[in-house]
Amino acid sequence: MNYLLDTHVFLWVLSAPKRLSSVAMAAIQNPDYSIFISAVSGMEIAIKKRLGKLEALEGLLLEIPQRGLTELPLKYAHTEMLLTLPDHHQDPFDRILVAQALHEKLTLVTHDQKLAPYGAKILWT
């Protein structure tokens, strides 16, 4: 099984792991699974930090390999998939993560119930 972490889940893994369910944490820590963090999450964190809407740890890029995560780049095919997604959710970062999960056939690990209607496989936190 391969998973894509929603941005808030990535931050919770780093600073508030007790917010994750035991099932989600077990999946994230399972060495047999590939766990991805999107470059889009890096964009979201940087923009929200700059706007003062988020306080996040420094050196997050270093945490990706240290935690056994794999960076998922944003591909043009991911952005094209946005055209096929209905307007269930207006957050552009979440919509791109859904597009990536669908295109790459990844299970999205999230707490955001608004993402359920898209039909992506989801592991709830």
> In the chain, where are the structural domains located?
2-124
Hey, what are 6's tokens? 């929603």
Q: Give dist(CA 29, CA 38) in Å, integer.
A: 18
For 2-124, CATH gives 3.40.50.1010
- Which pTM value belongs to this model? 0.94
> In this model, does residue 71 exceed pLDDT 70?
yes
> In this model, does residue 55 exceed pLDDT 90?
no
Q: How confident is the model at residue 121 (pLDDT cuts 50, 70, 90)?
A: very high
- Count CB-CB contacts under 10 A for residue 9: 25
Distances 93 to 8, 21, 64, 65, 66 between C-alpha atoms, Å: 11, 23, 19, 22, 24
Q: Give dist(CA 114, CA 34) in Å, integer.
A: 25
